[in-house]
Copies of this chain bind each other. A is one copy, B any other.
Amino acid sequence: MALPVVRTVSHLRDAVRRWRRKNRKIALVPTMGGLHEGHLSLVRLARKNADRVIVSIFVNPTQFGPDEDFENYPRDEHGDNRLLSKAGADLVYAPSILEMYPNDFATRVEVAELTQCLCGTSRPHFFAGVTTVVTKLFLQSLPDIAVFGEKDYQQLLVIRQLVKDLNFPIEIIGGPIVREADGLAMSSRNAYLSEADRATAPQLYKVLSDMAEDLGAGRDVESTLAMGANRLRGAGFRIDYLDVRTDDTLIPLEGQVVDSARIFAAVWLGETRLIDNVPIHLIDDPVV
């Protein structure tokens, strides 16, 4: 059965108001559509933590640079709706660009820390676009919780900072990365990959996992990064960034890793940009 779809703030608020009257706990899962199992796992996580789940589908133009893939970003509202219905969502919110950004729109929400590295360097418009649209989505729906994926780990940290700084009364829940059987992190952009590139792509996770194991065993950051970068280039990736950073403040690490940290990578395969990140489990830590 198709899920109900609302396209205006006013209709969204009508639905939320009805649920509030019945004391339903409400979750929002913001997406840009192009849904895959990663998104659906976030919907299920939302379902576990709330009574009603709204999934927003909005390909947000302000988080794309002028040379990026806004026009070609995968859009399949019918397919998305079917998947969301099965995953247990209750409502799709799919506003038009004009509903989100009327012609006189002039406001910008920016988080200064956490956004000056990694994807913030490669995609200078990205995070301000994300924090502005997420602020709007939050204020449009005022959910109790909102769920974001750890695939966009830096984005998750930025959203947490935004929520803390602006005092949104919303709990942010992060959902773990979902991978294909061969290890490739699920992403709407995987659909862009040629057959040959799709065969190469899983090497990204393989290399990051080996690096994480080495770092966890005490190998120093510098030689591990050099080894990892060599292997990625050898496999055919162009590297946008490859970094070892603390997993809360994104401070770059040197020498032996002793803090709670992750490896962060963005790479290009042909015209497709892939990102991934992997936690480092120190050998003294219980491995999850």
Contact = CB atoms under 8 A, between A and B. Distances in A.
Contacts of A13: 169
Contact of A169 (B106, B131, B139, B167): B139
Contact of A110 (B107, B111, B114, B136): B107
A109 interface: yes
**Interface class of chain A by DSSP:** mixed
Interface string A87-127: 00000000000000010111111111110000000000000
A71 interface: no
Contacts of A111: 106-108
A99 to B, nearest CB: 10
Interface in A48-107: 102, 104-107
B104 A167 contact: no
Q: Which of A113, A135, A136, A142 has the most CB of B within 10 A?
A: A135
B110 A108 contact: yes
Contacts of A140: 167
A161 interface: yes
A83 B216 CA distance: 63
Q: Which of A106, A107, A108, A140 has the most CB of B within 10 A?
A: A107
11 contacts: A13-B169, A104-B161, A106-B111, A106-B161, A107-B110, A107-B112, A107-B131, A108-B110, A135-B166, A136-B167, A140-B167
Given A9-B167, A104-B161, A107-B162, 19 more contacts: A13-B169, A104-B113, A105-B165, A106-B112, A106-B161, A107-B110, A107-B111, A107-B112, A107-B131, A107-B165, A108-B109, A108-B110, A109-B110, A109-B135, A109-B166, A110-B110, A136-B165, A139-B168, A140-B167
